Amino acid sequence: MTHKGLVEFYQKEVDRQIGEGMVQVDFIADEDVRPHDTFVQGFFDVYWLENGYEAPILLEIIAYCDADIDDSELELLDAEASTTVNHELIHLIQYNEGRFIEDWDGEYQDNPNEIEAYANEDKGTFKIER
């Protein structure tokens, strides 16, 4: 499977489990990434429409280029993507409940949004299974 194939697989999984239009999965080719490394990162954006995203949650797969992924890496990538999506879903819940702090001036790790999300991301219901 290539990185772009992984993106397609993840998009189908988030659409199936969470619902279409909730998570946008993208591939980013980054020449600063070592050739055989792959990273997963996510964002929650309250201004997603204004910023040109298709969904309030963005999941990014980052690698040097779109290349084949060794099957032995898939389990780790799936776990990281699952945790990341669950983390960002907590931010969406915070926002929907009016608890999301948009203008935090303190340190990232002291933000109540992040404290709650990191404490509960492993309890989320989204899980990629092959």
Query: Which positions ≥6 away from 54 have C-beta within 8 Å?
Result: 21, 24, 48
At 75-123, the pLDDT tens digits run 999 999 999 999 999 999 999 999 999 999 999 999 999 999 999 999 9
Q: What is the pLDDT of residue 104?
A: 95
Q: How many helices (H) and strands (E) does the chain have?
A: 3, 3
Sole residue written with tokens 């999301």: 100
At 23-74, the pLDDT tens digits run 999 999 999 999 989 999 999 999 999 999 999 999 999 999 999 999 999 9
The whole domain housing 8 covers: 3-123
Please indicate, yes or no, if residue 11 is contained in any of the structural domains.
yes
Q: Token pair of 114, please?
A: 């992040």
pLDDT band (50, 70, 90) for residue 129: confident
d(CA 60, CA 43): 9
How many domains does the chain contain in total?
A: 1
Please indicate, yes or no, if residue 128 is contained in any of the structural domains.
no
